[in-house]
Amino acid sequence: MNMIHHSQPTITAQDFRAIGACLKSGWLVQGKYVRQFEQTLSRYVSTKDAVATNSGTSALHLALLALGVKKGDEVILPSYLCTSVLNAVNYVGAKPVIVDINNDDFNISLTATRRKLTRRTKAIIIVHQFGFPTDIKPFLRLGVPVIEDCAQAIGAKYKGRRVGSLGTLAIYSFYATKMLATGYGGMVSSNNRGLINKIRDLRDFDERDDYITRYNYQMSDLVAAMGVTQLKRLNEFVRRRQHIARIYDNALKGVSCQLPKISKGTSPAFFRYVIQISGSINTFIKSMLRKGIEVKRPIYKPLHQYLDLNKASFPVTEKAYGSAISLPIYPTLTEAKAQYVARCVRDILS
């Protein structure tokens, strides 16, 4: 049986050509392709500039360093999240302050964030979870720098603007399964040139007159060459994901599960199509596997559980963790396969 995988990159002849051209140039390390990728991405999200890195995690690390976040400072982030973001906060020695999420969109709760604000809060990390934009405007009024985590959301829109240009800084990931995939890779974008210059300075280390601790977080030109061509096709990828989401929406109407909700004024990138079921998640995963379909918990384990925080403070995250299932969604998933996935979900849940 041909497995339907949970996620898959979209690799075409354009990627082969782009990497081939880079190889032919004989230049493998950070060079003109990296600069081109930075410029086209910053133009795409409408920011002044961007700096490429070797991962989304290192992009977050440098974003926090550029904001001057250090030991004794606090950084607010949501619990329903992968550990990469928590790691970046720990790299700079700051205290992670974990908060609950919203019921509707799995994004960070404004009320919970307000409650945890102190004089020591130096940054808030807003994750556009599963490609669904956070209602970010009220967060921007809290008087604390906001880092937009667009690792899953590049191409999504909030009030007509692409995510990534709203916060103080934004970070991206080009990991193999993300919206735009190069294997590994990341980027920071911002309208603040001072911050961008600081990040550019911290990203590599060679041939400097002064010495401070710097980081070898550079992207190779091979990766950037693929990034440039992937970015050209990103809008097409997003449209295709939205199309599959509509197929699921229609085919799963009336099935006893909670479908994704689109908040007013947003256009999600549909990095994930997450449904919430009432029965056992593990049983559901096994039943789908028997039908040749790979579905997943979208978050392996919430951060408050890793940190042994009181579960009572994270009711919405707990509920999401106990009920959320991510269905296959990616540009190369055919309509027939999406219909088959929906049919299997319907059969199992009815």
Ligand X SMILES: *Cc1c(COP(=O)(O)O)cnc(C)c1O
Query: Which residues are near ligand X by CB under 6 A?
Result: 55-57, 82, 84-85, 127, 149, 151-152, 173, 175, 186
Least distance CB 186 / ligand X (angstroms): 5
Beta carbons of 212 and 220 less than 8 angstroms apart: no
For the CB of residue 182, give the shortest distance to ligand X in the complex, in Å.
10
The amino acid at residue 266 is: T
With respect to ligand X, which residue has the nearer C-beta, 108 or 344?
108
Nearer to ligand X among residue 328 and residue 344 (C-beta):
328
Taking the CA atoms of the chain, what radius of gyration do you get in angstroms?
20
**Nearest to ligand X of 183, 322 (CB atom):** 183
Residue of closest CB approach to ligand X: 56
22 to each of 186, 204, 243, how far by Cα in Å?
Answer: 19, 21, 33
Closest separation in Å from C-beta 60 to ligand X:
6
b/e code 245-267 from CB counts within 10 Å (16+ = b): bebbeebbeebebeebebeeebb
| 100 token code pair | 């609950």
Closer to ligand X by Cβ: residue 134 or 323: 134
Whose Cβ is closer to ligand X: residue 247's or residue 269's?
269
CB of residue 303 to ligand X, shortest distance in Å: 12
Taking the least distance from each CB to ligand X, the nearer of 127 and 325 is: 127
Residue 212 C-beta: closest distance to ligand X, Å: 23
The dihedrals phi and psi of 143, each to the nearest 5 degrees, come to 80, 20
Q: Torsion-angle region of residue 342: left (phi > 0), alpha (psi -120 to 50) or beta?
A: alpha
Residue type, 52: A
CA-CA distances (angstroms) from residue 341 to 25, 53, 72, 260?
A: 44, 36, 48, 16
We find the least distance from the C-beta atom of residue 42 to ligand X, in angstroms, to be: 18
